[in-house]
Amino acid sequence: MWVGDDGPFHPAVPEGSKSGKATSECIKLSKIKGIIWDASLQTSERGFSSFQIVFYEGKCFTGRKLQLSGLCDNFQDWGFLNRVNSICVQSGAWVCFSHVDFRGQQYVLERGEYPGFFLWNAHSDRMGSCKPIGMVKHYRIEVFEGRHFSGRSQEFTEDCAFLNTRGCPKRWVNSMRVYGDGAWVLFEEPNYRGPMYVVERGDYGCCDEWQAPGANVQSLRRIINYF
């Protein structure tokens, strides 16, 4: 069975299936047609069904494309190379990763068009996985001076462009707790610049747990996207 719209046709696959005969046949047919099928198979318990993002192999939205409406731990599972040169976020906010399985450098993309990888602060076109980010009204994060929630702490409910102004100098943040349901982006440089890391509700006892090489958080902001 094929599901079509005004653009290319995409094979339909049973929800939640990434393997088996149905998936294999759909991928095979997609490759024959020279397109990438819509891998909108997974929606999380937090309700990401209205999220839409399209990845393109070429710059300025050219070449083969992969359209998603849910998390994807490996683009190659859908016959798409781990090379992305432009992205169109049609709705929602997303965190994309340079490697598969939600590992590597992180990039936060909100609704809009990104005709080149430099626009999401990447240094190359490598990208291997992505997932949507839940957006709510309640944001609260507490950062700690020591590992495993020790030492002094500071709490934030709003964006902060430079943590030093709140008594948190460079390499001060060694652990944190995210209390609210809203996600945050941590930046290694002031004014929301440099490598970034997304944290959602939970405890992070050390920088390894938010996939950072060191305790170097100098600014942070909420992820807010109103579609």
| Nearest-angstrom CA–CA distance, 88 and 67 | 9
Three-state secondary-structure class, residue 102: coil
pLDDT reported for residue 225 = 63
pLDDT of residue 153: 95
Count of Cβ atoms closer than 10 Å to residue 65 Cβ? 21
Please give the Cα distance from 183 to 112 (Å, whole number): 19
CA-CA distance, 37 to 3, in Å (whole number)?
10
pLDDT at 4: 25
> What is the 8-class DSSP label of residue 164?
G
Nearest in space to 14 (alpha carbons), one of 39, 37, 41: 41
* Percent of the chain whose pLDDT exceeds 90: 63
User: Which stretches of the chain drop beneath a pLDDT of 50?
Assistant: 1-49, 226-227
In whole angstroms, how large is the CA radius of gyration of the chain?
A: 19
Please report the pLDDT score of residue 28 as a whole number: 36
- Residue range 91-107, pLDDT digits in tens: 888 999 999 999 999 99
Compute the residue count for the chain.
227
Residue position matching structure tokens 């992505």: 130
- Whether the model clears a pTM of 0.85, i.e. scores above it, the answer is no
* Cα gap 131→129, rounded to integer Å: 7
